[in-house]
Structure 1
């Protein structure tokens, strides 16, 4: 009977370094092949036994996952940031492949990155396009304001971007070269805004095909765009067992630190009553999701409805407004997950204050 093989792959633009370990942890094969689908599949088909493969999340991860998943027992796409914390000694393509195979064999050392839900591939790509173009628009707007501030010209608000006020703003710039630079920024901003509107329309058109977007839009302050982005970024709510896993993924989980958690009292081991120290929110997270829930909480804290009542109740209990908004963002994320899992509508009874 063929044994289990643990395959580590270090993927690059031109080559893939492969290391294979058996159940005893011994290297039984290592090779370097070209980064082509046929070459990779030929190499995999030449291996006997039950194959477990791992490689790091990156540019090639989605393509490689779809390529290998039908042909092996298990594919683990791992988080390279977690692996960096485990790296010691020399680094190289073969060394990295050996290390990945060893970590996969040991089990529990790799943090998997979710890949699945192939029916959402179009929505995911359109969401990425919309997010990238939105970031580009923000960068150009920031550069435009930085240009004016660099010449000592105050430019608060949005008027500096308006087409009917541009001549007045350009006339404030003393140098011809600086004015031309500002004009180039305005031209780039106009082109990106038009492109962003097209990307927005494409995203909403594709999102209408997904029933989950209709459920998520029932959550207050989760509109059409954000519901489409939530479905594209999360794909399925069942990848999160509880709301706490979602909080960690969105960057809303609170990090704590404690030491000397236990002590002996009268010969009996008891847990210390000392409270753990708060160390802020977790930094390893999906920034787009955190932005969605953070802005939803900001809008809810300034608006009306059950979410505003929840926020006011938090403040009345003595919480600072910033902490109350954080609690509200966590609550919106939890309600969103519940609505999506239950495939039902929003119920204000979900907004219960914690004891």
Structure 2
């Protein structure tokens, strides 16, 4: 008798719904666990046989992956966008856990890559740097939006500099608008030092990775982009072929075709005049694609050669 067990977990902040199936698809156990390491490990240690486990990618996925990896023979963190079965029929935590176990048993889950601990620190610092950079950009856009809403031209970067700030604030006649702009300037002043600190920590951590030095040899790739690429891709060995890397980066060509053949004198022949719609794949990592797009754009548009290195 097969001792294989397939475990589906529907993970939430406070609780985890668990369903366990055998190799024949029979539901042999269901339970509700508190989202605590001790409780989860106690449950896993009570199971016998060859264990296969799956749960969806989410906020707690990295923590749960590291916690349970040593206790199962197979662990799949699956892509929730590919789990079409979860959208069909009734939906609840209990039902979703059952469906995840069934998808794992029938090998229909799409895995999400979780790398080794070697790049974990760089990944977290990359996330911190990009988040703070987006916050700075958002505040800068809001500052310009204040001036544009009062028909005040504000092209360039002088609107952000502290030495021209009093001059720009004087153009705002309405007191409430001026106070709003002052608050935005305070946000900008508090975020910019944090961004510089996050940038320095990212560069310091990136020096520990040999791949960063290799990427720096490529034109248009400076220390920041090299660190971001290593943090995003982690290792090239996760891709079986270069075409998988293209798809992950959003540069894979999708072909949508129909009616390829027609009957001519009783024989099927390929239709040479068929209409083929081509486009780039939508399912990709947006951060990786934006990096590669900048690398293609900068060499042709940088006014000074040294400006393309960032």
TM-score normalised by structure 2 residue count? 0.92
Matched ranges for 1:34-113 at <5 A: 34-83=34-83, 87-107=87-107, 109-113=108-112
Residue aligned with 1:160, SS? coil
Aligned residue for 1:161, secondary structure, equals coil
Matched with 1:242 is 241
The equivalent of 1:344 in structure 2 is none
Unaligned runs of 5+ residues in structure 2 are 304-310
**Alpha carbons of structure 1 residues 74 and 266: separation in structure 2 relative to 1, 3 Å:** farther
Deviation track 1:312-334 (CA, whole Å, cap 9, x = no partner) reads xxxxxxxxxxxxxxxxxxxxxxx
2:214 aligned partner: 215
* Corresponding residue of 2:120: 121
Secondary structure class of the residue paired with 2:159: helix
Deviation at 1:271, TM superposition (A): 4.0
Secondary structure, counterpart of 2:287 in structure 1: helix
* 1:233–1:151 distance in 2 versus 1, CA, 3 Å: same
Q: TM-score, normalised by structure 1?
A: 0.81
Unaligned runs of 5+ in 1: 305-355
What are the within-5 Å matches in structure 2 for residues 1-355 of structure 1? 2-83=2-83, 87-107=87-107, 109-265=108-264, 267-273=266-272, 274=274, 276-278=276-278, 280-302=279-301
In the TM superposition, what is the alpha-carbon distance from 1:265 to its structure 2 partner?
A: 4.5
Shift of 1:275: 5.0
Q: How far apart are the structure 2 equivalents of 1:158 and 1:21? A: 61
Q: Distance in 2 between matches of 1:85 and 1:293?
A: 34
Q: CA RMSD in A?
A: 1.8
SS in 2 for 1:159: coil
Shift of residue 138, structure 1, vs aligned partner: 0.9
Q: CA deviation at 1:269?
A: 4.5
Tell me the residue number matched to 2:307: none
Distance 1:234 1:261 in 2: 37
Alpha-carbon shift at residue 84 of structure 1 (Å): 5.1
SS at match of 1:100: helix
